[in-house]
Amino acid sequence: MAEQFVGKASEFKDGERQIIRIGEDEIGVFRHAGAFYAYSNFCLHQGGPACEGLTIARVIEPLREDKTSMGLHFHESDMNFVCPWHGYEYDMKTGEHVADRRIKLRKYDVVQKGDEVYVLA
């Protein structure tokens, strides 16, 4: 496990992402709402480029007390990223599949030292 330099935080805008290759690994590094997240870019479904698709808020369907549905809505803050091959949706903060939390992308730690961003890989 070594710190791998990814880039300068000041050049890494919010909403931007980088797909990097370190040896055999491909890693998607996201900057979302100020924080950095890094996950394996190999989707757990059929191996698609999990980190290269759409980012989109989690869809929720709130139920009222009486169990009636309030319909479909986007969550205020929870963000998913979606594998572009077939749509596996992963939680931006954890890398878990939103429909089955046991399915979890390999997560890499990201450390920031001054302006420099490193991935532990």
Binding site residues, other proteins, CB under 8 A = 2, 4-7, 13-26, 40, 42-49, 52-57, 74, 82, 84-87, 89, 100, 103, 106, 119, 121
Angle at 14 (CA atoms; ends 13, 19), nearest 5 degrees = 70
SS3 assignment, position 17 = strand
Per-residue exposure over 86-103, b if at least 16 CB sit within 10 Å of its own CB, e if not: eebbbbbeebbbbeeeee
Q: What is the smallest separation between the CB atom of 49 and ligand FES, expressed in angstroms?
A: 8
Q: Binding residues for ligand FES, per CB under 6 A?
A: 43, 45-48, 50, 83, 85-88
Q: What is the smallest separation between the CB atom of 120 and other proteins, expressed in angstroms?
A: 12
Phi/psi of residue 10, nearest 5 degrees:
-70, -20
Q: Cβ closer to ligand FES: 52 or 116?
A: 52
